[in-house]
Amino acid sequence: MSSRWIPLESNPEVLNSWANKAGLAHTVQFSDVYGLDEPLLAMVPQPVKAVVLLFPISPESEARRRTEDEEIKSNGQPELDPTILWIKQTISNACGTMGLIHAIANSDVTVAPESPLAQFIDQCIGKTPEERAKLLETTPLFADIHAQAASAGQSAVPTNLDTDLHFTCFVTAPSPAGTGMRVIELDGRRNGPIDRGACTDLLADAAKIIREQYMGESQSMQFNVMSLGPPSDYS
């Protein structure tokens, strides 16, 4: 990867600091998802526009990733909405910023028209994932916003920038076949967007995917889930 950033801490304060500096309207924000069972999911402000997951990278998760990527390469997957904006990750430790851009750019949330994020999204349209990655590499403002948000976390900035934690996110997109909405996983380390199946309720569907695809293979407690939606006190 071309360079290395400070890992982004996974908590709403840090993610909202990043998002507000980049141009996300204050009518939406990132909130903690305290658990994946129905009573705890019911506490999350609705409607949920995206779900962001921080998970530990392990030998098991890497083996699953390689196997799934090969299966998709060999057998394909359902046709994806061509308007999905996905960026290939080329900057080490930038997965937090990647997850935030993927979540916001692929949701119907308000971004200030002249903001850095709005301009970046506009510049990404029509470009390949690799060209978008190069654009991110050469846009110093995002590196600055990422560094400011990373330094604002509750933990001290690490001197060792190696990390085994990674962000991915889940959004919805219409099926080009006209069969309804789909859950799409967007992870810059993968080969492209991944169709995770029909969507009836994004938060509940993402919770099931996280339990089965991520937590089911791990004994780690280093998982964190956040939602993008209205603030709990917003009306």
State pLDDT tens for residues 108-166.
999 999 898 999 999 999 999 999 999 988 887 777 887 777 666 544 444 444 567 89
Residue 219 has a pLDDT of 63
pLDDT at residue 82 above 80? yes
Instruction: Classify residue 17: in a domain, yes or no.
Output: yes
Angle formed by the axes of helices 12-22 and 116-124, to 10°?
80
Instruction: Say which of 102, 146, 166, 199 is annotated catalytic.
Output: 166
Instruction: Classify residue 235: in a domain, yes or no.
Output: no
Instruction: Classify residue 62: in a domain, yes or no.
Output: yes
Helical segments of 138-201, H only: 140-151
Do β-strands 91-92 and 3-4 pair in parallel, antiparallel, or remain unpaired?
Answer: parallel
| Cβ atoms of residues 203 and 44 within 8 Å | yes
Q: For the residues 68-74, what does the mean pLDDT come to?
A: 96
Residue 162 has a pLDDT of 53
| Cβ atoms of residues 205 and 183 within 8 Å | yes
Question: Rounded distance, CA 102 to CA 189, Å?
Answer: 13
Instruction: Classify residue 234: in a domain, yes or no.
Output: no
pLDDT at residue 184 above 80? yes
Share of the chain above pLDDT 90, in %: 65
Q: Is 166 a catalytic residue?
A: yes
Instruction: Classify residue 44: in a domain, yes or no.
Output: yes
- CATH number of the CATH domain containing 56: 3.40.532.10
Number of domains in the chain: 1
Q: Is 95 a catalytic residue?
A: yes
Instruction: Classify residue 61: in a domain, yes or no.
Output: yes
Instruction: Say which of 95, 124, 169, 199 is annotated catalytic.
Output: 95
Instruction: Classify residue 210: in a domain, yes or no.
Output: yes
The domain in which residue 76 lies consists of 3-229
